[in-house]
Structure 1
Amino acid sequence: MCSENAETEVPFYLQQGHVYAVPVVHYNMEMAAHVRRVFEHLKPDCVAVELAETAELKLLHAASRLPDISVVLSHDQNPQHPEELLQRGAV
């Protein structure tokens, strides 16, 4: 959505009945700000998000513990330092 005053505009989302969807581009700050505006506009009771399949078992275990709070940590299987990526030309 392009506008000089995007904060006063109704943010873009898709609606089918009582279900709303917000299209996003991952790792994009502008999209994160847009999603925040949609949340502020709609004030949803609950939110569903896509999650990595690799975290499925950990997340199901965490959900089974509700209402207790769980922390699910994720990490890169092949961690590399930024300096190594720059030297290899990967960035």
Structure 2
Amino acid sequence: MTKAEIIQNIALLKKEKNAIILAHYYQEAEIQDIADFVGDSLALAQWAAKTTADIIVLCGVNFMAETAKILSPDKRVFLPDAMASCSLAESCPADEF
């Protein structure tokens, strides 16, 4: 399958499933190119809260997807890489605050 065919299939699936792709600005260009919105973690959370899409695919780290789900509890939120984490967030254990 060519890159163009993959992009076309993703676009069709987004429409069929009423889904959007949100990407953090540090994602690779190929991910940003297919995203409906690219921004920092705050902007992604705000976009997730206001979207009318049923499904949010969040290309970022785990806390960003968690925040999107908290702000959009009735939507399905997917994190393509379940192991994606943030070294800064990991260095601040919640039980220490």
Q: What's the TM-score once normalised by structure 1's chain length?
A: 0.27
Q: Which has the higher helix share?
A: 2
Larger radius of gyration: 1
Q: Which has the higher strand share?
A: 2
- Relative contact order (alpha carbons < 8 A, sep ≥ 6): 1 or 2 greater? 2
Q: What's the TM-score once normalised by structure 2's chain length?
A: 0.26
